[in-house]
Amino acid sequence: MIRDRGRIKWTSMMLPEHVKLLRDWVKEDRYEQKREMDEQQLELMNGILSEAIEYDQYVTITHYRNRNYEIVIGKIHYWDELTQRLHVIDRFEEVHRIPMDAIADIRMTEI
């Protein structure tokens, strides 16, 4: 029976610089592309956003940050018109400042 050690067998023959480049390459493959929004989605999100602010309800916000999509669940504290950022406070009282152009989806959440 042949016992192949897989990647361990080859990394001893590679320079550390090459190993680092391969790890960076694998990390880059996990990056996600930012999706474009159409007007119908923007109008729907605007309605949900205004309703959540008015009735102080929890929302789930999916936004693009550091080449990946992240999810924040919390209440909208306020919208800063000057910097075009949405201030969201999650259940752990942590403040998230999310740029409006990075938001991909907003949904009402029951907690």
- Average pLDDT (2-25) is 74
Determine, yes or no, domain membership for 93.
Answer: yes
Whole-structure pTM value: 0.74
pLDDT attached to residue 82:
95
- DSSP-assigned beta bridge partners for residue 60: 73, 107
Q: 46 lies in a domain?
A: yes
The Cα–Cα gap between 31 and 42 comes to 24
In a domain, 34, yes or no: no
Average pLDDT, the chain: 88
Q: What is the pLDDT of residues 26-69, one digit of tens each?
A: 888 888 888 888 899 999 999 999 999 999 999 999 999 998 99
CATH number at residue 63: 2.30.30.100
What count of other Cβ atoms lies within 10 Å of the Cβ of residue 62?
Answer: 14
Can you give the length of the chain in residues? 111
Domain span at 103? 39-108
- Residue 26's pLDDT is 85
CA 9 to CA 41: how far, in whole Å?
Answer: 50
Domain assignment present for residue 72? The answer is: yes
Instruction: Tell me how far apart the alpha carbons of residues 35 and 52 are, in angstroms, rounded to a whole number.
Output: 24
How many domains would you assign to the chain?
1
